[in-house]
Structure 1
Amino acid sequence: MTIALMKDLQGKVAVVTGGAGGIGRAMGRRFGAEGMKVLLADLLAEPLDEATRELAGEGIDVAGVVTDVTDHSSVESLAHEALQRFGAVHVVCNNAGTGGVSEGYMWEHDLADWRWGIDVNVLGVIHGIKAFVPILLEQGEGHVVNTCSGNGGFAPIARGATGGPAMAVYPMTKAAVLCLTESLYTHLEMTGTRVRAHALFPSGFLNTGIWESWRHRPKRYAATQDRRTPEPTLAEVVARFEAGGVRVEFTPLETVADQVIAGIRADRFWMMGPPAPTEEVVSRKAASILARSDPDYLVDVLSQTAGRGPDTEGGNQ
């Protein structure tokens, strides 16, 4: 196995998509605290400018590039900008994502919802790999960090906070991201390179804009079906969980960023925190596969199936 320990991050360059807020901004700040140069990318120009100014005010060498991860040429331009500005790229975080907007059973989901989720959450990662991995390979070192989720990466949430079906788009895309990252790890290993792949699993509830992705839905992915219920806010989602007896405690975003730094330094594929309640689902899923039994491991966020409280990024009922 190729070992690629990058313990000294001083002067290295990190590129973070979805960098205008949430996990992306937290990672950018944490990279900057290590003395790294940071390039934040996001589709939202104003929040991106705000994030860039904020980090620059903290003494971080940072720049922002408006980027649409669903467009390969846009991600290629981001890679070009990174080389033009900083001369290299050492850490690439394919972090941009969109959350759940669908309602009802999966056969009732709007096709536009599927296309939006797949284009951002899956193709966005593929575009990042396509644009940046050749650069890292030419350098001979580097790290690719893909943001996954327990919701899909472990097993899909089956029932949401209202007791009805959880939306299927988000967990499907995150399952795909994990498979992509596992494949990337293997392909890189086969070349003998020191470039490494990592799967980031943020634990717990995260106070990020992904819960209200509908606020920034691009026109080309406009819904083609009328909704039966209003788009939920994060406050409403939290209220639903708590009404169902589930206490919501947000995981500090800084904790997730710390996991990334620790994972890079230790060269760990699985960037995860301490054992989480829904990791039990992994064992139950494996047992179900081996026993050829029905999938009784599927997660119910109100604890009626998995026997635990929620532990997943993005939530997405």
Structure 2
Amino acid sequence: MTDFRGKTAVVTGGAGGIGQALGRCFGRAGMNVVLADVLAEPLQEAVRTLADEGIEATGVVTDVTDWASVEALANAALDRFGAVHVVCNNAGTGAVSEGYLWEHDLADWRWGIDVNVLGVVHGIKAFVPILLEQGEGHVVNTCSGNGGFAPIARGAMGGPATAVYPMTKAAVLCLTESLYTHLQMTGTGVRAHVLFPGGFLNTGIWESWRHRPDRYAATQQRRTPETTLAGVVDRFEAAGAHVEFTSLDTVAELVIDGIAADRFWMMGPPTPADQVVSAKAASILGRGEPNYLVDVLGQHAKNASEEGGTP
């Protein structure tokens, strides 16, 4: 797809962050935009912001953990615009767990898996048949180097990093690779892509706990305060790692350019974080220890902006 004018894009997690930036980028390229999010008021504001730019946009309150809700999103997009050409499975929740993996609250696991993994599965199941019937379209799944490359070992606040988030993002990469293969086998023009935003992002995912649904309420008493973006930045700065945020518009442009170039790996230019991939491959091929695991405030503190970009 090189001509985006008049086409339609659906973006989950569209009320803010990467999702809203994607909607804006698609709209400026001439597309109709359907933003989906579980947060009704921020979603309405995001749609108004796009409309003020003259972008044809609508918002659909959607809970990606609920199959019926995602199915309704697909129907709403078709009812409004008659077709869907780009689907961005972008909705995600960040780290809320504390302590070691075996200490993580089971409710944290369920929430992370339901949003970050089943949310993508639901998006694929609801929209890919539509794209296949059209014979064209693109599915873009948002991943992360934290999991997609390798799990971060020590977290931004100094203790062991949560295992929930990187596990779900590793699953997203595997899902997208499988989707790519399955689509290729059908001979369709529908394409699959994986987005690695990269960098340090100023988004609400750092503070996902503020919007935690009651059905995923924690069952364990926290021992430490909830993570805040300001707290994470302060800790990086105290460790001598200056934080520079990656522009969300730059991330969105990776997607537009990646679709136009039919690029599976939607990533920015090489960074020191890419060395993790090489080190991991060497460890596997050499049957060695996983010495590629990243300590964002230790060995790799100088590269914090590249390697600590997601919770």
Which residue number corresponds to residue 294 of structure 1? 289
Q: Is the Cα contact below 8 Å between 1:149 and 1:312 reproduced in 2? A: no
Structure 2 match to 1:3 = none
Would the aligned equivalents of 1:150 and 1:311 in 2 still touch at CA under 8 Å? no
Corresponding residue of 2:72: 77
1:237 Cα offset (Å) = 0.8
Question: Which of 96, 103, 110 is the equivalent residue of 2:98?
Answer: 103
Amino acid across the alignment from 1:73: A
Residue correspondence of structure 1 range 184-263 to structure 2 within 5 A:
184-263=179-258
Aligned length: 311
Alignment of 1:60-71 (within 5 A): 60-71=55-66
Distance in 2 separating the partners of 1:91 and 1:192:
18
- SS of 1:80's equivalent in the other structure is helix
- TM-score, structure 1 as length reference: 0.96
Choose which of 80, 87, 91 in structure 2 pairs with 1:92: 87
Aligned partners of 1:298 and 1:305 also within 8 Å: no
Q: 2:198 corresponds to which letter in structure 1?
A: S
Equivalent of 1:269, from 256, 259, 264? 264
1:284 is aligned, of 279, 285, 291, to: 279
Please state how far the C-alpha of 1:14 moved relative to its aligned partner.
0.1
2:30 corresponds to which of 32, 35, 50:
35
1:113 Cα deviation from its structure 2 partner: 0.2
* AA at the equivalent of 1:8: D
Q: Residues 303 and 309 of structure 1 are in contact (CA less than 8 Å); yes or no, is this contact kept in structure 2?
A: no
Identity, in percent, stands at 78
Q: What are the superposed Cα offsets for residues 210-267 of structure 1, whole Å, 9 maximum, x if unpaired?
A: 0000000000000000000111211011101111121110000000000000000000
SS at match of 1:242: helix
Q: Do structure 1's residue 14 and structure 2's residue 24 form an aligned pair?
A: no
Instruction: Give the letter for the 1:184 counterpart.
Output: L
Q: What is the letter of the counterpart of residue 20 of structure 1?
A: A
CA contact (8 A) 1:298 1:306 kept: no
Residues 314 and 102 of structure 1, relative CA distance in 2, 3 Å threshold: farther
Structure 1: unaligned runs, 5 residues or longer? 1-5
Name the structure 2 match of 1:141.
136
Q: Secondary structure at the match of 2:58?
A: strand
Deviations 1:113-132 (A, max 9, x none): 00000000000000000000
Report if the CA contact (8 A) 1:149-1:313 is conserved.
Answer: no
| 1:128 counterpart residue number | 123
CA distance in 2, matches of 1:196, 1:167: 32
CA contact (8 A) 1:102 1:110 kept: yes
Cα deviation, residue 164, structure 1? 1.9
- SS for the counterpart of 1:311 is helix
Distance in 2, matches of 1:282 and 1:308, equals 15
SS at match of 1:133: helix
Question: Quick check: 1:278–1:306 contact (8 Å CA) kept in 2?
Answer: no
CA contact (8 A) 1:113 1:221 kept: yes
1:278–1:310 Cα contact (<8 Å) kept: no
Q: Mean Cα displacement is larger for which, 159-168 or 82-91? A: 159-168
Instruction: Check whether the contact 1:205–1:248 (CA below 8 A) recurs between aligned residues.
Output: yes
User: Aligned in 2, Cα 1:61/1:305: closer, same or farther, shift over 3 Å?
Assistant: closer
Partners of 2:225 and 2:156 in 1: CA distance: 15
Measured at CA, do residues 313 and 19 of structure 1 come closer, stay the same or move farther in structure 2, by a change above 3 Å? farther
Cα contact 1:156–1:298 (8 A) shared by 2: yes
